[in-house]
A and B are shown apart, each in its own frame.
Chain A
Amino acid sequence: MMTQIPLLSLLIWSPIVGAVFTLMAGDKRQSTWARRISLLTVLINMALCIPLYLNFDQSSASMQFTEYLRWLPAFGIDYELGVDGISVALILLTTFTTFVALIATWHSIKTKVAQYSAAFLIMQGLLVGVFTSLNAILFYIFWEATLVPMFLIIGIWGSDNRVYAAIKFFLYTFLGSVLMLIAFIYLGMKAGTFSLLSFYTLPIGMTAQILIFVAFLLSFAIKVPMWPVHTWLPDAHTEAPAGGSIVLAAVLLKLGAYGFLRFSLPIAPDASHYLAWFMIALSLIAVIYIGFVAIVQTDMKKLIAYSSISHMGFVTLGFFVIYLIVKSGHVEQVGLAFEGAIFVMISHGFISGALFAAVGYLYERLHTRQIKDFGGIVNTMPLMASFVMLFVMGNAGLPGTSGFVGEFMVILGSAQANFWVAFAAGTTLMLGAAYNLWMYKRVFFGDIVNAQVALVRDIKGFEVFAFGLLGLMVLFFGLYPAPILNLVHTSAQHILTLGTMTKL
């Protein structure tokens, strides 16, 4: 292990330093320098990910690349970093997504480019901070801080109704987090430190566990988002610029899921067990209810946003269905659903990111997101149509794409718990195909009816490059999902051990 180089700190702070330089470069000379510096920063970070991945010991469940700095020792608040396999996977996703978001919207942002790029870089650093914090307060700071750049991205570079959406986004998610802080303070006082790993070993009574679980639940459920606290997401997505939507869908939503597996399950295992049915019910409602809602959307971005919620239902389902499996005596099989949920997190990052990029490309050309304004795009943008076909099929969970893998694992895992849970989850095969392909039909197929569509040019340059990268990921991990799973096996197993061990 490379303990001598603070790799995680570099991953957190170098994008933020890069952001400062980007801001200093400003928007002189058509923001050329701002763009160059931001791109360079992301590339450096992607390079930093290589030693992170290569030197990570996949067979060890303990936190790796740990860093420790005393900060406020009197309160047990320290600068404590470390990663397990799940964190590594999410850091790779974050860095990759920021890169894609920047190059996909390379030409589409024309105002305040320096600030825009800087916001993304800062966001990237903060997100990595969330995924690496091993101290609850540090985690909380990063967690809340991520709201700011996204609030600005929506509020400044968003479309017409951006202020309403930005405020709704901020208040909704902020509200949830406050309860999390209270839970952290309670735990910190009980443990005498805010170190996350000491929370894991803390015995907690059932009532306290349930209260902690509920406090966490509100904050994580809003972030995921789970039904019924999901309504901020469609608004945020519709108003956000394409790049913002990409990061929001690909990474920001994963924070909530990450919270569940890093905090709720290991800290309040008995409450998780006790409330598993409730969580499963909410997840299945997300899959089915949101699936139906997605079908009738008339705004492309809203449709994809709803489909995101539906897919995130698979994540929470996979996390909590394990308790039913343990009950029905298939202890050794819980890994399938759980790791499937983690896989959905990663895969959804690629697919939803790609779909939001696609909407961005279309919006830039036609200045509308309404499905009815399109039609026959395939005639003028065949390359775009081919790529989107791939992503839409991925979103519909076609085998051979990464979208299939996680859902397949979760459905198989759910069947071990209860046939009807699998049945309800399986409806996504029909609902997902319906909203995805019906949308595709109305936007891409058909003859050209709109004079504007006849004039659009196909994607090229960076747009193709971004799509190509995403397409590669979707196909590669669809055909060979093993690398992601190998990365998370041991860590997932560790969390499952903690999550199924009673603390009473």
Chain B
Amino acid sequence: MNQYLYHVVLGIVLAPLAGSLIAGLFRNQIGRLGAQYATILGVFISFALSLFVAKAIWLDGISPKDFLGYIWMSGNTIFPFTFKVGFLIDRLSALMMVVVTFVSLLVHIYSIGYMADDDGYQRFFSYISLFTFAMLMLVTADNFLQLFFGWEGVGLVSYLLIGFWFKKESAIQGNLKAFLVNRVGDFGFILGIAVIFTYVGNLDYAAVFSHATELAADKISLFSGTSWSVVTVICILLFVGAMGKSAQVPLHVWLPESMEGPTPISALIHAATMVTAGVFMVARMSPLYELSQTALTLVIVIGATGALFTGLLAIVMNDIKRVVAYSTLSQLGYMMVAMGASAYSAGIFHLATHACFKALLFLGAGSVIMAMHHEQDMRKMGGLWKRMPITYICFLIGTLALCAIPPFAGFYSKDTIIEAAQLSTIPGASYAYYCVLIGAFVTALYSFRAFFLTFHGKPRMDHHTFEHVHETPWVVWVPLVLLAIPSVLLGAFLISPMLYDTHTVLGNSVTVLSQHNVLAEMKHEFHGALAMIPHALLTVTFWLVIAGIFVAWLAYIKMPNLPGWFAQRFSLLYRVFVDKYGFDALNQMVFVKGTKNFGNALFKIGDRKIIDGFFVNGSGISVRWIALRARLAESGYLYHYVTAMILGLLIFLFIMLTSGVID
């Protein structure tokens, strides 16, 4: 069984890679259809095998398995280091594999329609399959080296895909920014790994976790006079990596610009999978995070800040994809809040439901964009519900799920997070609670704003365009429908097994200390998924959501002049939102300009003036100066030379005698 399962896992990981290589290397030989089928087959195999593993884990109840792929490098007896490629198959990685391959498969199919007219068709399929491979390496890793490989691998493919339309200046600007900001995170991440290696001498999860308590007891002094627990330092450094990948404030700036890539990848990479890698990582490292209150506080505060403040920005965006992008930032914040509150299962639960409904929203937005001939500005949409009913209904489902309206999927996962934040006793949890609570209102407001602007009201495009809008082809809407189903049902079905059953879905693949265990507290209040629906009517959250929807309806359907009046009346606040709190301006000024100026100063003053100008060419000049003087000695008179020779010999003899070279 073991060997058998290992081959299954290899198949899961390598099938998309094979598809990607075939589509990429032989793109001219196999053509568009060949590339499309090769990659879809690869991902389908991967999905099917993931389901098989899921069955083995949850139905057959096999215990977690750790497989060795190969020894990447090793030392010898004197240098006892070993780095390897290996796979950890447990409840968490099995769940992630299913989510990743499911969304990836649907996005592959959807792309047949969305990318139909694109010249880079094969290249696109090759990239998204490569992404799937890297993401699977990330979630199945059993050690930090491989985690980092997948971590940077998904970053690479994200870079390639954001810049997929490489002629577009905004796209290649966006992908550069994405990679660089992610590298800031990875900088922290690799330092975290380095600290782990220093204290454990091994990068395998199992070895690191078994040393967790010692790491918590060990102290490290980074600045003289301070002393931190090693586990805190590790967790914070790793979290810096998660801030980059999962776009947490202040490293969130790359995600909105990643929308310059094709819409299917926004759904796959920048909503459902890659950006949740940071959340996944924190859950995976729960045995470490649990031991550091400081790190948990950081996680919950950063997460909550993002959840509320990036959500606010979605209200002023006019590009339909940007609204969804900011909404993703906000939802990632929710997931991080769950992590910080030690409700890891709830965070992963939200990750799974979010993957479905956010992919649905992105693909729905893509469907609208296709129908509108690549128009993304919502101010030029409106009234589309008549023209594309399937997209309309699916988008509505996604919106309701996002707003946490019972009984849609998002309701279960998000409500749990809000409640977990309320119950958590971690410092910073009450701040987080108010952030996510107000966030619920904000979410409803911006989601329904986008929904109303796009599908309702009067069409704001010219008559001709409106007449030509029609429902997209089946390869586009079938994935929508397939994502709409879990967006409705997944929450109700999963809440009990995920959070409250005796053997939860994640089981012991996440660790929660009893004093942090908010889900155990909530379990007493839980009386089944259905009972949560009427109970919701009694909660503040629910009425905040309703208020949000009502405001959206009021402002964008009933009184369309209201937003304009508001923007004028509170112009300062409006400006702050439109400028996205000035992060971009700050980055541009401090980091981009600062780096260039600093580099130029070092180059022009350090290298050119001081080193080359003064020392190097200076020595050239002084050699010339000396030579000019020395030339005077070459007088051409024999007696000058003889005198010099005799003098030299005398000096030489004297030195040899005194230094004892000649005895």
Contacts and interface: CB of A to CB of B under 8 A. Distances in A.
Interface of A: 168, 171-172, 228, 230-232, 289, 292-297, 330, 332-336, 339, 376, 378-379, 389, 393, 398-400, 405, 408, 411-412, 414-416, 419-420, 422-423, 426-427, 429-430, 433-434, 437-438, 441, 444-447, 479-482, 485, 489-490, 493
Given A168-B616, A411-B194, A336 B176 contact: no
B184 interface: yes
Given A393-B156, A400-B149, A400-B153, A295 B75 contact: no
Interface centre among B71, B149, B160, B166 (most CB of A within 10 A): B166
B215 to A, nearest CB: 14
A215 to B, nearest CB: 18
Nearest to A335: B79
A446 B191 contact: no
Nearest to B615: A228
B598 interface: yes
B194 A336 contact: no
A400 B80 CA distance: 22
Interface in B591-624: 595-596, 598-600, 602-603, 606-607, 611-612, 615-616, 620
B6 interface: no
Interface centre among B180, B198, B598 (most CB of A within 10 A): B198
A482 B73 contact: yes
B580 interface: no
A335 B75 contact: yes
B281 to A, nearest CB: 15
B15 interface: no
Nearest to B194: A415
22 contacts: A172-B616, A228-B615, A232-B616, A289-B602, A289-B606, A292-B595, A296-B596, A335-B81, A339-B75, A399-B152, A400-B153, A412-B197, A415-B195, A415-B197, A426-B191, A433-B180, A434-B180, A441-B172, A445-B163, A480-B70, A481-B72, A482-B71
Given A292-B602, A422-B191, A430 B156 contact: no
Chain B, interface SS category? helix
A278 B94 CA distance: 50
A296 B599 CA distance: 6
Contacts of B71: 482
Interface centre among A230, A334, A399, A485 (most CB of B within 10 A): A399
Contacts of A378: 166
Interface in B333-359: none
Contact of B167 (A393, A400, A433, A447): A447
A414 B75 CA distance: 17
A283 B456 CA distance: 63
B79 A489 contact: yes
Contact of A422 (B149, B166, B194, B606): B194
A19 B151 CA distance: 49
A3 B180 CA distance: 53
B76 interface: yes
A416 B176 CA distance: 32
B29 to A, nearest CB: 15
Contacts of B201: 333
B148 interface: yes
B220 interface: yes
Contacts of A490: 76
Given A429-B186, A482-B71, A489-B76, A412 B616 contact: no
Contacts of A393: 156
Contacts of A420: 222
Nearest to A497: B78
Interface centre among A297, A339, A389, A412 (most CB of B within 10 A): A412
B236 to A, nearest CB: 13
A458 to B, nearest CB: 13
B167 A376 contact: yes
A228 B611 contact: yes
A488 to B, nearest CB: 11
A391 to B, nearest CB: 13
B169 interface: yes
Interface in B138-179: 145, 148-149, 152-153, 156, 159-160, 163, 166-167, 169, 172, 176, 179
A412 B599 contact: no
A231 B176 contact: no
Contact of B220 (A231, A419, A429, A430): A419
Contact of A416 (B187, B198, B595): B198
Nearest to A429: B187
Contacts of A427: 187
A437 B148 contact: no
Nearest to A294: B599
Contact of A493 (B78, B152, B160, B197): B78
Given A296-B596, A296-B599, A482-B73, A430 B78 contact: no
A420 B201 CA distance: 19
B482 interface: no
Interface string B353-369: 00000000000000000
A380 to B, nearest CB: 12
A430 B183 contact: yes
B293 interface: no
Contacts of A437: 159, 176, 179-180
Contacts of A228: 611, 615
B74 interface: yes
B193 interface: yes
A230 B606 CA distance: 12
Contacts of A405: 73
B190 interface: yes
A154 B179 CA distance: 37
Contact of B607 (A231, A399, A485): A231
A376 B167 CA distance: 7
A231 B608 CA distance: 8
